[in-house]
Amino acid sequence: MNERGQCFSLVFLFVYYMLPALLCFWAFWGQKFLFLKALNPMPPLPLVSMTGKSDDIESKLEPDVHTQKESRNNPKPYTEKGNSPGSGPSHSGNGVQTDVVIVRYGELALKSKGVRSWYEKILMKNIAAMLDSRDVPYFQIRREWGRIFIETTDSQAAEAAADVFGVVSTSSALMAEPSLENSARICASLAQGLIREGESFAIRARRSGNHPFSSADIGKICGDAVWNALEKEGKHPRVNLSSPNKEIFVEMRQKMAYIYLETFKGVGGLPLGTQGSMVVLMSGGLDSPVAAWLMMKRGVMIIPVYCNNSPYSENAARERAFDCIRQLQKWAPGYQFTTYEIPHGPNLQSFINLCNRKNTCLLCKRMMYREAYEVMKKEGASGIITGSSLGQVASQTAANMHAEIYQLAIPIYHPLIAFDKTEIMDIARKIGTYEISSRPAGVCTAVPEHPEIGANYDLIVLEEKKMDIETMVSNALKAAKILKL
């Protein structure tokens, strides 16, 4: 073959074999680039800005972020851009003006980037709702990596935000440009009205981002400024890093420095609404409100169900349960509880008339589970919460709790299972239900004199065969009332 033929053959082989491969390679990387661009149309983690009331937040969504109108009972990501109710004076307890409230969270930082971002958005929405419920004014709520900031001049915002599930701590702070000179100046100004003669002090410094100085430099420069300012006032300052009388905190971030004097401990947990919803059997005693609150702390929205035992219980028991629900509602501003009141007296009457008297409480609890399960399915919830604590009362022995759920394929949660009564009472005081639950409300007269404490689960099933359980559940649900307390 001559040279011309050889060249022609080489060109033919290249076009036949190599060109399709090159085209496929180009198409693959082109599509991947477009796909990645579609996944990340905006720079990562910009600030989130919200102004005014929390009801206005959802109307300020960027079209390329989230445009769908959200239900308040099912919060989802919203706009992303760059301990007692009531409002107070626009300064902290130390008489210091407030520029911003620093909000810190814990477990959220352990989540993946996408989940963390979603949780942060829900947390910010819940913070806004809490501020609105307590009439605490704010200019905007924004987030940076690892922190949420409430721009407000009202120091009550720090206490209000500390009561939001998911918040670990809060601090009312002053803002300054992120330089040693500005931070030192503010520390000196704060110290003059804070540190009295003979008192010791310490600067607690931390930093994040890129700075030409260390945390030790912040402590030294700000400490020198405080010392000099106090000496000018004729005071004799002392530094004590282990146990000072007063502390000044400096948090140096990339774009801003924050100086503050105190920290409010938050309730912790996960933002309410991040773990779906569950039905809670609410009796109005000490246990069930605490169990409900603990599950709310883990991000669960609750659907209270009150099984009315009338005529075997007094109306005071009903009012007590409803007041507990109202108190729990204060911990969930922006989310309206849907409360079910189910008549349970007729079922109790059947148990008393047809079954072994000592099994009344066990049969009662199994029926409550079935009724709550129907509510759970109707509401699209994920489980049932009870206030049971192992061994606390006769009906809550291990054997009885086994018999209560035997052959019932129902997800049941007992957050108090290992708590003793003192621990439960302490939490009840903290959340505001102790006084309500301690009100006299009589006792359930359907409780037998000698209740079963070591139930045989097979015998409980045989007891239920004496009745038409399915019809009893159906009738109870048909007569149920749905309330907005």
State CA 322 to chain mean position distance.
22
For the four alpha carbons of 119, 121, 122 and 123, in that order, the dihedral sign comes to: positive
- The H or E element that residue 142 is part of is strand 140-144
**Residue 299: pLDDT above 70?**
yes
Instruction: Determine the pLDDT at residue 59.
Output: 32
pLDDT tens profile 354-379: 999 999 999 999 999 999 999 999 99
Instruction: Determine the pLDDT at residue 456.
Output: 87
Residues 251 and 289 in one domain: no
Residues 281 and 260 in one domain: no
Question: pTM for the complete prediction?
Answer: 0.79
Rounded to whole angstroms, the Cα distance separating 314 from 330 reads: 26
| Percentage of residues of the chain with pLDDT beyond 90 | 71
Instruction: Determine the pLDDT at residue 155.
Output: 84
Residues 435 and 294 in one domain: yes
Residue 22: pLDDT band (50, 70, 90) is low
Residues 230 and 326 in one domain: no
Containing domain of residue 109, as a range? Answer: 54-265
Size (the chain), residues = 485
Instruction: Determine the pLDDT at residue 6.
Output: 58
Rounded to whole angstroms, the Cα distance separating 235 from 195 reads: 9
In this structure, is residue 30 part of a structural domain?
A: no
Residues 199 and 284 in one domain: no
Residues 157 and 130 in one domain: yes
Computed on alpha carbons and rounded to an integer, the radius of gyration of the chain in Å comes to 31
Taking CA 209 as the corner, what is the angle to CA 125 and CA 48, rounded to the nearest 5 degrees? 20
Rounded to an integer, the average pLDDT of 374-398 is 93
Q: Phi/psi class of residue 391: alpha, beta or left (left: φ > 0; alpha: ψ in -120 to 50)?
A: left
Residues 256 and 326 in one domain: no
Residue 421: pLDDT band (50, 70, 90) is very high
Residue 182: exposed, middle, or buried by beta-carbon count in 10 A (0-12, 13-18, 19+)? middle
**Residue 60: pLDDT above 80?**
no
Residues 477 and 375 in one domain: yes
Rounded to an integer, the average pLDDT of 382-396 is 91
In this structure, is residue 231 part of a structural domain?
A: yes
Rounded to whole angstroms, the Cα distance separating 385 from 296 reads: 11
In this structure, is residue 13 part of a structural domain?
A: no
Residue 451: exposed, middle, or buried by beta-carbon count in 10 A (0-12, 13-18, 19+)? middle
**Residue 95: pLDDT above 80?**
no
> Could you give the number of structural domains in the chain?
2
Instruction: Determine the pLDDT at residue 18.
Output: 61
Q: Quick one: which of 226, 165, 161 has its CA closest to 199? A: 226
Residues 87 and 182 in one domain: yes
Rounded to whole angstroms, the Cα distance separating 332 from 153 reads: 24
Q: Which two tokens stand for residue 410?
A: 């129902």
Instruction: Determine the pLDDT at residue 80.
Output: 33
Rounded to an integer, the average pLDDT of 71-90 is 32
Residues 92 and 191 in one domain: yes
Q: Quick one: which of 257, 263, 268 has its CA closest to 297? A: 268
Residues 71 and 213 in one domain: yes
Instruction: Determine the pLDDT at residue 12.
Output: 57
Q: Which two tokens stand for residue 434?
A: 């102790």
pLDDT tens profile 111-130: 888 899 999 999 999 999 99
pLDDT tens profile 161-210: 999 999 999 999 999 999 999 999 999 999 998 999 989 999 999 998 89
The enclosing domain of 143 has a CATH number of: 3.30.2130.30
Q: Which residue has the higher pLDDT, 151 or 43?
A: 151
Residues 229 and 355 in one domain: no
Boundary residue ending a domain (205, 239, 265):
265
In this structure, is residue 459 part of a structural domain?
A: yes
In this structure, is residue 27 part of a structural domain?
A: no
Boundary residue ending a domain (265, 297, 330):
265
Instruction: Determine the pLDDT at residue 8.
Output: 57
Instruction: Determine the pLDDT at residue 145.
Output: 84
Q: Quick one: which of 342, 329, 200, 214 has its CA closest to 272? A: 329
**Residue 484: pLDDT above 50?**
yes
Q: What average pLDDT does the chain have?
A: 84
Q: Quick one: which of 200, 174, 152 has its CA closest to 96? A: 174
Instruction: Determine the pLDDT at residue 2.
Output: 58
Rounded to an integer, the average pLDDT of 143-164 is 93
**Residue 328: pLDDT above 60?**
yes
Rounded to whole angstroms, the Cα distance separating 353 from 178 reads: 76
Instruction: Determine the pLDDT at residue 3.
Output: 57
> What pairing do the DSSP bridges indicate for beta strands 100-105 and 147-151?
antiparallel
Boundary residue ending a domain (232, 265, 298):
265
In this structure, is residue 240 part of a structural domain?
A: yes
In this structure, is residue 44 part of a structural domain?
A: no
In this structure, is residue 291 part of a structural domain?
A: yes
pLDDT tens profile 432-482: 999 999 999 999 999 999 998 898 888 999 999 999 999 999 999 999 999
**Residue 73: pLDDT above 80?**
no
Strands (E), 189-336: 200-207, 238-239, 246-252, 257-260, 264-265, 277-281, 301-308
- Name the least confident of 5-19, 82-96, 145-159, 161-175: 82-96
